[in-house]
A and B are shown apart, each in its own frame.
Chain A
Amino acid sequence: MTKRNIEILVGLFVVLGLLALVFVALKAANLTSFSNGDTYRLTARFDNIGGLKPRAPVRSAGVVVGRVTSIALDPKTYQGVVELDLDRRFQFPKDSAAKILTAGLLGDQYIGIEPGGDDANLAPGATIAQTQSAVVLENLIGQFLTGRADAAGSGGGGGSGQ
């Protein structure tokens, strides 16, 4: 085999490998979903972020509009500070609300944005004022149990519960 043929074959091999990388990156991974160029940053503070993780999706009306970039604890207010990168195509009114929701019953947690009615939009770097924390199952069960105990205590008189 001549040197030139070998060079052509090696070139084909390298091109094939790079094509495979492009295929895996574009078709079978998330390179297409969001690039860094066309996003803007928002901040939201939550009393409890539950099981939210970085790179969790941000959805509005169920449509993915951005991703969570970082999660930190504010050392003064003890709130969770969540930074969001939203797609520039989607601007939300100033009084929009951010909620931490769960996909399905036991699925991953994500941030849902409910648009408000304000004329002005949230500027890049702004903080979302209205937030609703994650629902923590243990707290919910705790409330439910104490609620039942209270009801039993006030309604049942001296009876031994229901």
Chain B
Amino acid sequence: MNAIARLGAIALEQFRGWGHAAFFFLELLRAVPASLRRFGLVVAQIHAIGNRSLVIILASGLAVGFVLALQMYYALVTYGAAESLGLIVNLALVRELSPVVTALLFAGRAGTSLTAEIGLMKAGEQIAALELMAIDPRQRVLAPRFIAGVIAMPLLAILFSAIGILGAWLVAVGLIGIDAGNFWSIQQNGVDVWRDVGNGVIKSAVFGVICTAVALYQGYETEATPEGVAYATTRTVVISSLGVLGMDFILTALMFSTGR
């Protein structure tokens, strides 16, 4: 009987947590229109979230492009299909790698800083101070960061794709010596703007929602102690990474399962 009661308690606790997060998300969405009217706050946050993640995104994209091109070449050249190198790298990047890897990097680079910032704001009772001044902290603090994250993520992901394809081009054309005309024309024949590139952008926007919402929730609900903030920061990375990977599977199944 005790075991069943404990199971029930755990289940209830889980449901309570999920419900709490869902209400938080709804209230965040409700605060979005109001803070869209004060776009200056959003711009400052895009700078903090987007611009400052640029270097790590570009460096990773270039490295992924290099490595994919080199590794794929060894496999493809045995089948005499080395010319399709660009197509494979392009599809892998645009459909899967750039939304997912960008989101994982984003969770580590920007998500953690959001959680720590808001967690410390809460620990320093700045959030409570805003409430005392009748300023809604959701509109003033949370929503601008949320919008900035949702705007910045697709831009970062498409930059990741572009720099990755350029990296593959450097390796394929510069190092291996694949014909540049074939490299581009095979890609143009095989990659569809709406099905591949468009769906990749949609994916990264969804990941932007997940990563930013998780980071904000963890920061906002943190225990207002140094350990609490540290714990919340860790959870931000774990939960947003798992959320992104799980959602990626669902989105891939929805977007690309119906054949060509």
Contact = CB atoms under 8 A, between A and B. Distances in A.
Nearest to B46: A10
Interface in B14-44: 40, 43-44
A13 interface: yes
B67 interface: no
A99 B117 CA distance: 65
A29 B184 CA distance: 9
A106 interface: no
B64 interface: no
Q: Please classify how large the interface on chain B is, using the bins under 10, 10 to 19, 20 to 34, 35 or more.
A: 20 to 34
Contact of A28 (B51, B90, B155, B259): B90
The residue in B51, B94, B193, B196 that gathers the most chain A C-beta atoms within 10 A of its C-beta is B193
Interface in A43-59: 53-55, 57
Contacts of A33: 188-189
Interface string A58-99: 000000000000000000000000000000000000000000
A144 interface: no
B197 A24 contact: yes
B161 A24 contact: yes
Contact of B197 (A25, A55, A57): A25
A64 to B, nearest CB: 8
Nearest to B148: A10
The residue in A7, A13, A28, A30 that gathers the most chain B C-beta atoms within 10 A of its C-beta is A28
A17 B197 contact: no
Q: Please classify how large the interface on chain A is, using the bins under 10, 10 to 19, 20 to 34, 35 or more.
A: 20 to 34
| Chain B interface main SS type | helix
B50 A10 contact: yes
Nearest to A20: B162
Interface string B217-251: 00000000000000000000000000000000000
A21 interface: yes
Given A6-B43, A16-B159, A17-B155, A29 B187 contact: yes
The residue in A23, A30, A32, A53 that gathers the most chain B C-beta atoms within 10 A of its C-beta is A30
Given A6-B43, A28-B165, A29-B196, 19 more contacts: A3-B40, A6-B44, A6-B47, A7-B43, A10-B50, A13-B54, A13-B152, A16-B155, A17-B155, A17-B156, A17-B158, A20-B162, A21-B162, A21-B201, A24-B161, A24-B165, A28-B184, A55-B192, A55-B260
Interface of A: 3, 6-7, 9-10, 13-14, 16-18, 20-21, 23-25, 27-33, 53-55, 57
30 contacts: A3-B40, A3-B44, A6-B47, A13-B50, A13-B51, A13-B54, A13-B155, A16-B54, A17-B154, A17-B155, A17-B156, A17-B158, A18-B155, A20-B155, A20-B163, A24-B94, A25-B193, A25-B197, A28-B86, A28-B90, A28-B94, A29-B196, A30-B189, A30-B192, A31-B193, A32-B188, A33-B189, A53-B259, A55-B192, A57-B189
3 nearest A-B pairs in the assembled complex, by CB-CB distance: A17-B155, A20-B162, A29-B191
